[in-house]
Amino acid sequence: MALTRPLGAAVFASGGGSNLQALLDHETTDPSWRIGLVVSDREGAGALARAADAGVAAHVIATKGRGADELGGEMLETLGGHAVDVIFLAGYLKLVPPAVVAAYRNRILNIHPALLPAFGGKGMWGMHVHRAVLASGATLSGPTVHLVDEEYDRGPIVAQWPVPVHGTDTPETLAQRVLQVEHLLYPRAADHVCRTLLEGARPGPMPMAGDYFALVSGTGAAPQRLPGDG
Ligand code: GAR
């Protein structure tokens, strides 16, 4: 079935949901996607409150003690009930069941708070990632947006935005600087992928101007817009 604009989007989130908020707040005159569903594995997730504030349907799908087949079945039924075409993982910390990955191949995005393929994989989430980056002595970090496959953090990369690591950084200060950039990068990467899907093509890397390093080097401040935004 051909996809039509705007694509129906679901956001999966386990935590506070600041990336969900950035996606909800992203306004364009010609939207290629619209969020119609939020899914969380945690009853108390802040993301659920954000969904309620935005008037978006929210479902808790518990994962504890459940097999991938049962979980995948419930997810597919829920997604189907909300006309979901694309899924954005925004701090969702569970593996997406194989049946969902297969049904939404090339239509699930994830944001990860480090430059994959470094500092990714099982157990690499949230502050664990930033602690590992600092322990490694890396001088650059920054978010990656990628398509989701059957493994944690492994699918093809859509966009990355390097952020400098300072000698004075703690995991918390680095997390904060990377998160600011995540909020700028994720909606744009979602736009890029959804426009590509609407053209009937397979999503590839998002073009980014070559000078974006300059925007984030030196001061450590997150830029307010991406080069090329006009
Ligand atoms: C974000 O930093 C996101 O990149 C990270 O969790 C945080 C969620 O914050 N995701 C992962 O670590 C996935 N491996 P949020 O709930 O405020 O959007």
What are the tens digits of pLDDT across the range 75-86? Answer: 999 999 999 999
| pLDDT category of residue 2 using cuts at 50, 70 and 90 | confident
Q: 56, 35 in Cβ contact below 8 A?
A: yes
Nearest CA to ligand 1 atom 17: 18
pLDDT cut 90: percent of the chain above it: 87
Does 14 contact ligand 1 (Cβ within 6 A)? no
Q: What is the CATH number of the domain that holds 56?
A: 3.40.50.170
Does 182 contact ligand 1 (Cβ within 6 A)? yes
| 179-188: average pLDDT | 94
128 included as an active-site residue: no
Residue 110 corresponds to which amino acid? N
Task: Confirm whether 222 is domain-assigned.
Answer: no
DSSP for residue 222: P
Task: Confirm whether 227 is domain-assigned.
Answer: no
pLDDT of 220 over the 70 cut: no
Phi, psi of 143 (to 5 degrees): -75, 155
Residue whose C-alpha is closest to residue 147's, from 201, 214, 195, 88: 88
pTM: 0.92
Does 31 contact ligand 1 (Cβ within 6 A)? no
Nearest CA to ligand 1 atom 8: 91
Task: Confirm whether 177 is domain-assigned.
Answer: yes
Residue at token pair 């989007």: 9
3-state SS assignment for residue 129: helix
Q: In whole angstroms, give the CA distance from residue 61 to residue 157.
A: 27
- Where in the sequence is the domain holding 92, given as residue range(s)? 7-217
| 168-195: average pLDDT | 95
Residue 44 CB contacts under 8 Å (≥ 6 apart), including other chains:
none
Does 72 contact ligand 1 (Cβ within 6 A)? no
pLDDT value at residue 1: 67
